[in-house]
Amino acid sequence: MYTYFFQLGTTTELSLAELACVLGDKKLDILTQQIIAVNSATKIDVQGLQNQLGGCVKILKKEALLNDTTAQTIATSIAQIIPEGKITFAFTQLDLRAGETSDEILLDAAEIKKELVQQGRSVRFVEGKKFGLSAAVLLHQKKVREFVLIITTKEIMFAQTMSIQNIDDWTVRDRSKPYADRKKGMLPPKVARILLNINRSFDQATERVVLDPFCGAGNILLENAMLKTKGIGIDIDKNAVAGTTDNLRWFSETYQQPHHQQVYPGDATHVPESIVQAVTAIVTEPFLGRPKPKAEQVPDIFRGLYKLYLGAFKNWKKILPDGAPVTIVFPSTLVAGKEYTMSALIDKLLPLGYTTVSGPLRYSRPDAIITRSIYTFVLKK
């Protein structure tokens, strides 16, 4: 049996849902909000999984069960993993016996280094923070091996970081693409990837084709291209269609691979069947309303959004196959102590054949006026 530990990013609720969907029938043991343990009868392709996930910062693998937490025991474990050559290591300890990580330092890493030197090894220690070295440090310092002591009420586990999120690559797609429309708001690439992974777990089609009927700047289509899945995007705004087309062209040039996405002008509430004959799923963030509305404008804005969303769902029923999943972002906001949501819409969707299978999963940027609630529905015809 192999044991892996997943360190989730800041969007813990979304990231946990994504991990559960991607791993399927594997049981998730929630050690803390950010640390998830998973047992597997077979080895996991850690790097492949890391590349797929949007909400996972690191993946660790349990290397050994220890009888104690002495420097000698840990130094011996490190020496066994790195049997020759110079040892450049980072060391973190996660004491989870109280349910969350304790700040108490059980073991000074300098003692581990001292033990390794006494064994005749050349050693360099790299100091990190509470949860270990950042992804940036591990990404750019390839020779550093990060080890983590994980202590629970049942056992003492010695783990090694096996993969890290490539933050440089994510930043390229977030900030370097040619077209963006900040005024409309854009789904961050990592969140777009999470939505696609959640949706994929409910898509039973043999050849998956994703439709984004509010494609905007194309972040969902770009992440869909990273997953090497076919996709179609439409938008009523011709500037968005042109911008997304430019972004997809940039994607192919940057990553030296075809994107397999098509983009058309169109209305999300009247999607032509000729465009979407092969569509098996929808992943989208519709228009969420004005970025900074006045308080007196909010009721009218949400009434308009309700009408827009309901019209879209009615149209999608005509073009989607039976069993198709729809992953969508609903907005909510708090104005003068009153919360405005799209919850009334959900009651209207069940008679149309849409069953909620995931959500609401909440996501918002710090100090954001609009909170996103992410739902996945499955259409039954």
Among 374, 323, 378, 321, residue whose Cα is nearest residue 349: 378
Residues 202 and 330 in one domain: yes
Residues 349 and 365 in one domain: yes
pLDDT value at residue 9: 92
pLDDT at 100 over 60: no
Instruction: Indicate the residue among 143, 165, 187 that finishes a domain.
Output: 165
> Do 102 and 39 share a structural domain?
yes
Same domain? For 157 and 172 the reply is: no
Domain count, the chain: 2
Say yes or no: 157 and 177 in one domain. Answer: no
Q: What is the pLDDT of residues 228-276, one digit of tens each?
A: 999 999 999 999 999 999 999 999 999 999 999 999 999 999 998 777 7
Asked if residue 17 and residue 66 are part of one domain, the reply reads: yes
pLDDT of residue 314: 97
**What percentage of the chain reaches a pLDDT higher than 90?**
75
DSSP designation for 333: E
Provide the domain limits for residue 340.
168-379
Query: Are residue 97 and residue 186 in the same domain, yes or no?
Result: no
Question: What is the predicted pLDDT for the residue at 288?
Answer: 76
The least confident of 8-22, 98-112, 266-280, 333-347 is: 98-112
Predicted TM-score (pTM) of this structure: 0.94
Q: Which of 165, 192, 225 is where one domain is finished?
A: 165
Instruction: Please give the average per-residue pLDDT across 293-300, as a whole number.
Output: 83
Q: 300 vs 37, which has greater pLDDT?
A: 37
Query: What pLDDT is attached to residue 72?
Result: 95
Cα separation, 22 vs 168, whole angstroms: 23
> Hunting for tokens 């998730």 — which residue is that?
28
Quick one: 155 and 173 in the same domain?
no
78 shares a domain with 51? yes
The larger pLDDT score, comparing residue 186 to residue 159, is at 159
Do β-strands 325-335 and 338-340 pair in parallel, antiparallel, or remain unpaired? Answer: antiparallel
Measured over the CA atoms of residue 72, residue 78, residue 81 and residue 84, the dihedral's sign is negative
Of 103, 136, 165, which one is at a domain's C-terminal end?
165
What integer pLDDT is reported at residue 185 of this predicted model?
Answer: 65
Same domain, 193 and 289: yes
* pLDDT tens-digit readout, 112-134: 999 999 999 999 999 877 667 88
At 258 the pLDDT is: 97
CATH number at residue 256: 3.40.50.150
Same domain, 123 and 249: no
